[in-house]
């Protein structure tokens, strides 16, 4: 059975895309068939997997979702790119920006992405949706299309308010649009273990949310190697397999798989 996980946080720069790439490839390395979906008009996921000019890709998620809106038949292979590390990508680019506006005027506008994702479920074990930094219509679509949502939080400073707002949105989607939506967990990213500050934030997150929501045991360390991989178009496992951050993403992958049981 396919599992669909959104990687969401309306704050930018918290390692959503980095986590989508390295958890996705981590799951593929464990023998799973994985599709990564880029719903961010910035196309960062697409670019960080080596397609450095997302705006020049002829068929992207925007075209597919336009076809869904127009009730055209969709070829399941349409637009899918293949990455050397054994994952598939549905690329995204700036056209998603205009599409998000169009979506607002369409009947059942929250279900557009779900129509496409549901169709793709039979081909994959995991579908990871990389969200844009907002709680707009595209992110709502991602939450509606998902079984669960993974929330990366940067451990440098705690946007408690932002996290509360995100969780409120998730609960609203769960109540009105997607009863089976679960929170996969909160993931602390860019942790600088040398500082007490990082430890404080970690305990604060556990304190505030730990009783209701899974806070992943594994955290992702701050590392320039994580940033380098995006420029290389490969995962942290290929770029720097022995680094702490590669180990952290390997452990996170194990933890996600373990939590399924």
Q: Which residues bind ligand ADP (CB under 6 A)?
A: 12-18, 44, 133, 189-190, 220, 222-223, 226-227, 230, 245
Q: Which two tokens stand for residue 149?
A: 């949502």
Query: Of the listed pieces 23-31, 42-50, 117-125, 249-257, which binds Mg ion according to CB under 5 A?
Result: 42-50
Interface with Mg ion includes 3 (CB under 5 A)? Answer: no
- Partner interacting with residue 190 (select from ligand ADP, Mg ion, none; CB below 5-8 Å by kind): ligand ADP
Are the C-beta atoms of 173 and 140 separated by less than 8 Å? yes
Q: Based on CB atoms, which residue is closest to ligand ADP, 102 or 169? A: 169
Interface with Mg ion (CB under 5 A), residue total 3
Interface with Mg ion includes 219 (CB under 5 A)? Answer: no
Closest approach of ligand ADP to the CB of residue 190, in Å = 5
Interface with Mg ion includes 18 (CB under 5 A)? Answer: no
Query: Of the listed pieces 12-20, 103-111, 197-205, 230-238, which binds Mg ion according to CB under 5 A?
Result: 12-20
Q: How far apart are the C-alpha atoms of 259 and 22, rounded to whole Å?
A: 18
Interface with Mg ion includes 189 (CB under 5 A)? Answer: no
Closest approach of ligand ADP to the CB of residue 152, in Å = 6
Q: How far apart are the C-alpha atoms of 20 and 41, rounded to whole Å?
A: 16
Closest approach of ligand ADP to the CB of residue 16, in Å = 3
Q: Which two tokens stand for residue 5?
A: 């996980």
Q: Is 21 helix (H, G, I), strand (E, B) or coil?
A: helix
Instruction: Map tokens 């969709």 to a residue.
Output: 74
Query: Of the listed pieces 10-18, 79-87, 183-191, 243-251, which binds Mg ion according to CB under 5 A?
Result: 10-18
Q: Based on CB atoms, which residue is closest to ligand ADP, 110 or 130? A: 130
User: Between the CA of residue 124 and those of 7, 31, 88, 118, 241, what are the distances in Å?
Assistant: 17, 11, 9, 11, 25
Q: How far apart are the C-alpha atoms of 141 and 118, rounded to whole Å?
A: 12
User: Between the CA of residue 147 and those of 127, 151, 198, what are the distances in Å?
Assistant: 10, 14, 30
Residue from 10, 44, 139, 223 that binds Mg ion (CB under 5 A)?
44
Are the C-beta atoms of 80 and 89 separated by less than 8 Å? yes
Q: Which two tokens stand for residue 228?
A: 């380098």
| Residues within the interface to Mg ion (CB under 5 A) | 16-17, 44
């Amino acid at each position: 059975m396919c599992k669909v996980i959104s990687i969401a946080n309306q704050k930018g720069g918290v390692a959503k895309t980095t986590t989508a790439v390295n958890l996705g490839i981590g799951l593929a390395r464990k023998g799973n068939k994985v599709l990564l979906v880029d719903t961010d008009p910035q196309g960062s996921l697409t670019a960080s997997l080596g397609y450095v000019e997302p705006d020049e890709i002829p068929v992207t998620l925007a075209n597919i979702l336009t076809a869904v809106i127009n009730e055209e038949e969709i070829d399941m292979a349409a637009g899918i790119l293949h990455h050397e590390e054994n994952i598939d990508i549905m690329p995204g680019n700036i056209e998603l920006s205009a599409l998000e506006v169009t979506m607002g005027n369409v009947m059942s506008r929250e279900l557009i992405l779900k129509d496409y994702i549901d169709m793709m479920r039979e081909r994959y074990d995991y579908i990871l949706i990389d969200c844009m930094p907002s709680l707009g219509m595209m992110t709502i679509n991602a939450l509606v299309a998902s079984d669960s949502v993974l929330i990366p939080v940067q451990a440098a400073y705690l946007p408690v308010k932002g996290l509360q707002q995100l969780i409120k949105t998730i609960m609203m989607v769960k109540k009105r649009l997607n009863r089976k939506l679960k929170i996969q967990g909160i993931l602390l990213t860019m942790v600088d273990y040398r500082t007490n500050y990082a430890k404080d934030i970690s305990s604060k997150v556990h304190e505030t949310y730990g009783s209701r929501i899974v806070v992943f045991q594994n955290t992702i360390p701050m590392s320039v190697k994580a940033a380098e991989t995006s420029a290389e178009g490969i995962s942290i496992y290929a770029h720097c397999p022995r680094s702490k951050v590669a180990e952290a993403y390997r452990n996170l992958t194990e933890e996600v798989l373990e939590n399924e049981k």
